[in-house]
Structure 1
Amino acid sequence: MSTLPTAVNSAPPPGKRKEIYKYEAAWNIYSMNWSVRPDKRFRLAVGSFVEEYNNKVQIVSLDEETSDFAARSTFDHPYPTTKIMWIPDSKGVFPDLLATSGDYLRVWRAIDTETRLECLLNNNKNSDFCAPLTSFDWNEVDPNLLGTSSIDTTCTIWGLETGQVLGRVHQLVSGHVKTQLIAHDKEVYDIAFSRAGGGRDMFASVGADGSVRMFDLRHLEHSTIIYEDPQHHPLLRLAWNKQDPNYLATMAMDAMEVIILDVRVPCTPVARLNNHKACVNFISWAPHSSCHICTAADDHQALIWDIQQMPRAIEDPILAYTASGEINQVQWSTTQPDWIAIGYNNCLEILRV
């Protein structure tokens, strides 16, 4: 197993790019996401974790000439963002949007040095109270679809209308509820669309009842239980393999292992990745390979695994990086698959892999 070098801020020799770039925010970082637009290569959005109402989201980008990250835009956000995602628009045909989840789902438009709120999506208009959103996902095949998960046991699928630019006037983005369903017996902690069956209609969710459930927007009268934790521990995260929609990864609360599932063989993990020495916080599949996945944990480590030996046991990761703090976030860049971003304490680091 090889290790990546630790972060240094010295400039690389002329013509040679550094292996690691670091950005330090003014607050602890919780959520983050790479932009997928081809003209914004090293741009990420990061969200603060401050235990009060007033939080921040910052858009940062790397200046490849100076090798430094710079904040391009900072805006206020109520409560910490539980997730941030840029619109999955690799061709740049949609407006430059990003979405955040927290008390509600919000869609924002990035415009040079400012970011503007386009719409707040709330499907509980009859109450002064809201059920916080734990996560959401943006459909890659149809970027007009988003799905949210909530502590009120439901998942909601939203339809987004993104107006075209008419002359100099930007039409506002708006959204409507396409469907809401009770997905679990307890809180739902994560939701993710699958690329199976055309990539538009299938999604899965995990929650406090310890189950992974799969849904089809065309047949919402029933769901399929893919896996149940033997001890009924809550499952916190869910991630689909980007190249092979038969595989997904999940992890239980406070667990030191990641479980790989094959939807063709329900309820039996095909692999367990258990080299971490503290609880796992995040998982991210490689965008360009069906057999590589990155896991990050409280043991300060980000580990990359090669799982092509499945169903034989996967003993060790192929690459390890040790950060200077507990890693709570990892994101593998879709447009530049040789770069991974991690978040710990108030630091964002991007690592060349």
Structure 2
Amino acid sequence: MSLPRIAPASLHTPGFAHYSLAWSPFHNTRLALASSANFGLVGNGRLHLVSVHPGPNGSHAITLDKYYETQDGLYDIAWSEIHENQLVTASGDGSIRLWDVMLNDYPIRAWQEHTREVFSVDWSNIKKDTFASSSWDGLIKLWLPERPHSVLTMQAHQSCVYQALFSPHQPDMLASCSTDGTVKIFDLRTQSYAPTGGVAPNAGFNTPLTAAALTIPASTTEVLTIDWNKYRPFVLASAGVDKLAKVWDCRMIKVGEVGQVGGQCETQFLGHEYAVRKVQWSPHRPDVLATASYDMTCRVWTTDPAVGRGQLSYIHDSHTEFVVGCGWSIYEEGTLASCSWDGRLNIFWP
């Protein structure tokens, strides 16, 4: 006999559409939310800090601990890997801010180098003193929290870079995705990425567009999201406007006219009705992937490379607007959170 499913927990923050969520790498009950007024089109933003509390009979409650107001909408968030109370946010005004949750008012540091919206930030879990940002200006920048300027700037794509993520296996490997339909992988050990001292806003800006170690032609439309598999070092997932999530084996490489091109698609996930806005691999299993979509659902899939197609195992359809973020709990296996333009954070157990 199967056990009854635990009822989802939910928190509503009226007036603010959620864009991204992140579980703390230090506290198993703490999350942060990057949010924007007016669906992120115009107006201010908020950084929400919330806690999850177990209750009787397997129930859970979510409480809002505090929030910070920002002058522009927030699109992404990443916890520090070296300081349990610090995190960075990506803003629509091109700024990046470092916050300390023990302080009540203002960020402890701010950077303003990107010329367009900053759409993603990612903190390396190997080089724990480094984080990356990507922007609609086509650039990826690397940062050290104590430095006043970025330590490296890369012209990764000719158009918007939706996401840039460090590999959880290789400290100098970075992947990105863009409106140009490609996923690119960069090896930061190559000479062209050698930092030039980090003393100017565009330090290290000497990287041509063709310097990617691998370019994957992932879609004929925009690729909105990527994630590295936590157990298979050269495998990542991508998804976007074509409504498909795909799993790529990045070891399949051939030499093309503009560098190395390749990547073998070993699995596809068919089922979302609109664009897929977020993919995230489980930190506990190599074959489980979560996706969030504009079709107002968050879905969980299991991969089977032998048949070349993912198997749908769960649909969470409680949201009433675009679901743009999802994230697995690092500490509690099988716990998944989703956030949406409906101003709700949901936590559930698929």
Provide the aligned length of Structure 1 versus Structure 2. 310
Residue 75 of structure 1 pairs with residue 38 of structure 2? no
The match for 1:190 among 149, 160, 163 is 163
Pairs within 5 Å for 1:149-168:
149-161=134-146
2:28 to 31, 36, 41: 41
Indicate which of 91, 111, 119 corresponds to 2:102: 111
Distance in 1, Cα, partners of 2:168 & 2:234: 9
Matched, 1:319 2:282: no
Choose 272-281 or 96-105, whichever is displaced more: 272-281
1:155-208 deviation line (CA, Å, top 9, x unaligned) = 1111223xxxxxxxxxxxx55422111111222111000123xx3211011112
From the superposition, tell whether residues 217 and 81 of structure 1 become closer, same or farther in structure 2 (CA, over 3 Å): same
Q: Letter of the aligned partner of 2:33 in structure 1?
A: V
Please point out which of 233, 243, 246 is paired with 1:256.
Answer: 243
Which of 166, 173, 183 does residue 202 from structure 1 map onto?
Answer: 173
Tell me the residue number matched to 2:327: 331
Q: Note the C-alpha offset of 1:277.
A: 2.3
CA contact (8 A) 1:110 1:116 kept: no
Q: 1:229 to 1:290 in 2, by over 3 A?
A: closer
SS class of match (1:28): strand
* Matching of residues 92-171 of structure 1 within 5 Å: 94-102=83-91, 103-111=94-102, 114=104, 116-123=106-113, 130-161=115-146
Of residues 191, 199, 213, the one that matches 2:184 is 213
Alignment gaps of 5+ in structure 2 = 193-210, 253-261
User: TM-score normalised to the size of structure 1?
Assistant: 0.81
Structure 2 equivalent of residue 84 of structure 1: 77
Instruction: Tell me the TM-score normalized by structure 2.
Output: 0.82
Deviation of 1:135 after TM superposition, in Å, equals 1.0
1:324–1:153 distance in 2 versus 1, CA, 3 Å: closer
Percent of paired sites with the same residue:
22
Q: Deviation at 1:134?
A: 1.6
When the two chains are superposed, the root-mean-square deviation of aligned CA atoms in Å is 2.2
**CA distance in structure 2 between the partners assigned to 1:336 and 1:190 by the alignment:** 26
Alignment gaps of 5+ in structure 1: 6-17, 125-129, 162-173
